[in-house]
């Protein structure tokens, strides 16, 4: 660690002590977003239910969170919304869903909760980040994903909007974005320096061009292999939080993990994050004390070849959310204030022996 990075890290931890303590007993709102029209694979709309069934609410309660389950949002499929300009799929439906989610995220953050959005496909991040930014316009974003999701409607080859949400969010791309139906409400709310990608390994040529042209920071799996996840997180926080403390939005696509760990997802790419790397990312974000909202998306229980594959993927999703909100690997969830002594530990046994 360089001297500058060490000083920055110490400064961050000193300033955020109160935030960290607050977040040990924080209030968490869980929003289910059962939406699939940003991509082509049926089943991702069942992601929120599958993650809840894997024990998310109980896990968060067990680590001291006050959990408010806001339930699932209802999304409308707009009639006659198949293709726009023979390319973009379901634009009105996706745009309306993101607008609906933005309002709900803004509402629960305004009520003092940390917001957990369960997807659903990754197009929803346009809504969650937009809603978050309405309350915290100076927020920054950590995007953990195998994909950059930064194609524009003019560069996409698939037409799937789950591969485009970041392009709608970036101010630098505002003049590159055509007006498409369903998105008139969406306004860019972050700059290129406000986002860092972690885990990339499957980029389209246009996405590579955008990342390089606008100097957007990203750490591919090759870079993670080279410098290690600890250095990646140090550099990420140095960029996003080094000059000023501001809230974080984490957008985590389960396909950031290697498919051997998270097989039940729509666009798996081999060579992804290990379990330890993913949990380390979440733990380090929690340690900043600045996490205000997170997305956990692209869990698709229909695509698990077996029940064990579905269980592995949903359990991993629960672990990531819980690690972001205070679960650690160092100790048990319950605290202990005093060690038992033989007198207290065996008091009942001694009484029984005396009676005998």
Q: What is the mean pLDDT of residues 8-14?
A: 51
* Known active-site residue 122: yes
Q: pLDDT: is 66 or 23 the higher one?
A: 66
* Known active-site residue 162: yes
| Average of per-residue pLDDT values in the chain | 91
Please give the pLDDT value at position 5.
Answer: 56
Parent domain of 240 = 3-355
Q: What is the mean pLDDT of residues 106-122?
A: 97
Q: What is the mean pLDDT of residues 54-76?
A: 97
Please give the pLDDT value at position 293.
Answer: 98
State yes or no: pLDDT of 9 exceeds 80: no
**Which DSSP symbol is given to 77?**
P
Instruction: List the catalytic residue out of 149, 202, 258, 277.
Output: 149
Q: What is the mean pLDDT of residues 30-51?
A: 97
pLDDT digits (tens, 9 = 90+) for 219-255: 999 999 999 999 999 999 999 999 999 999 999 999 9
State yes or no: pLDDT of 207 exceeds 70: yes
Instruction: List the catalytic residue out of 26, 46, 147, 249.
Output: 147
DSSP letters spanning 162-207: GG-HHHHHBGGGGGGPPP-TT-TT----B-GGGEEEEEE----HHH
pLDDT digits (tens, 9 = 90+) for 267-317: 999 999 999 999 999 999 999 999 999 999 999 999 999 999 999 999 999
Q: What is the mean pLDDT of residues 206-214?
A: 98
Band of the pLDDT at 71, cuts 50, 70, 90?
A: very high
Q: What is the CATH number of the domain that holds 62?
A: 3.40.800.10
Number of domains making up the chain: 1
DSSP letters spanning 218-265: EEEHHHHHHH-HHHHHHHHHHHHHSSS---EEEEEEGGGB-TTT--SB
Instruction: List the catalytic residue out of 104, 145, 258, 319.
Output: 145
pTM for the whole structure: 0.89
Complete edge-to-edge strand list for the sheet that includes strand 114-119: 66-72, 27-33, 114-119, 291-297, 248-253, 140-144, 195-200, 217-220
Q: Which positions make up the binding site for Mn(2+)?
A: 122, 145, 147, 149, 253, 255
* Known active-site residue 147: yes
């Amino acid at each position: 660690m360089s001297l500058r990075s060490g000083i920055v890290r110490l400064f961050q931890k000193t300033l955020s002590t109160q935030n960290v303590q607050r977040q040990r007993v924080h209030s968490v709102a869980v929003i289910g977003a059962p939406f699939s029209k940003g991509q082509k694979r049926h089943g991702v709309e069942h992601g929120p239910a599958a993650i809840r069934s894997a024990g998310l609410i109980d896990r968060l309660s067990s680590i001291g969170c006050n959990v408010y389950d806001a339930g699932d949002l209802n999304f409308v499929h707009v009639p006659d919304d198949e293709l726009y300009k023979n390319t973009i799929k379901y634009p009105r439906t996706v745009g309306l869903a993101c607008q609906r989610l933005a309002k709900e995220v803004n509402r629960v953050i305004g009520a003092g909760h940390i917001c957990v959005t369960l997807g659903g496909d990754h197009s929803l991040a346009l809504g969650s980040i937009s809603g978050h930014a309405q309350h915290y316009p100076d927020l920054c974003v950590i995007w953990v994903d195998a994909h950059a999701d930064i194609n524009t409607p003019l560069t996409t080859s698939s037409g799937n909007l789950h591969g485009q949400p970041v392009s709608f969010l970036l101010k630098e791309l505002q003049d590159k974005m055509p007006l498409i139906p369903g998105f008139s409400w969406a306004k860019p709310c972050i700059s290129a320096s406000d986002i860092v990608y972690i885990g990339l390994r499957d980029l389209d040529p246009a996405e590579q061009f955008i990342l390089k042209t606008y100097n957007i920071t990203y750490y591919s799996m090759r870079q993670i292999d080279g410098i290690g996840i600890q250095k990646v997180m140090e550099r990420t926080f140095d960029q996003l939080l080094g000059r000023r403390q501001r809230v974080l939005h984490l957008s985590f696509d389960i396909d950031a993990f290697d498919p051997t760990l998270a097989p039940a997802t729509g666009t798996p790419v081999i060579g992804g994050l290990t379990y330890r790397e993913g949990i380390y990312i979440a733990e380090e974000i929690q340690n900043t004390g600045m996490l205000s909202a997170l997305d956990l998306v692209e869990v698709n229980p229909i695509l698990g070849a077996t029940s064990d594959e579905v269980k592995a993927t949903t359990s991993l999703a629960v672990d990531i959310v819980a690690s972001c909100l205070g679960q650690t690997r160092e100790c048990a969830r319950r605290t202990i204030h005093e060690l038992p002594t033989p007198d207290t530990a065996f008091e009942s046994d001694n009484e029984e022996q005396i009676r005998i």
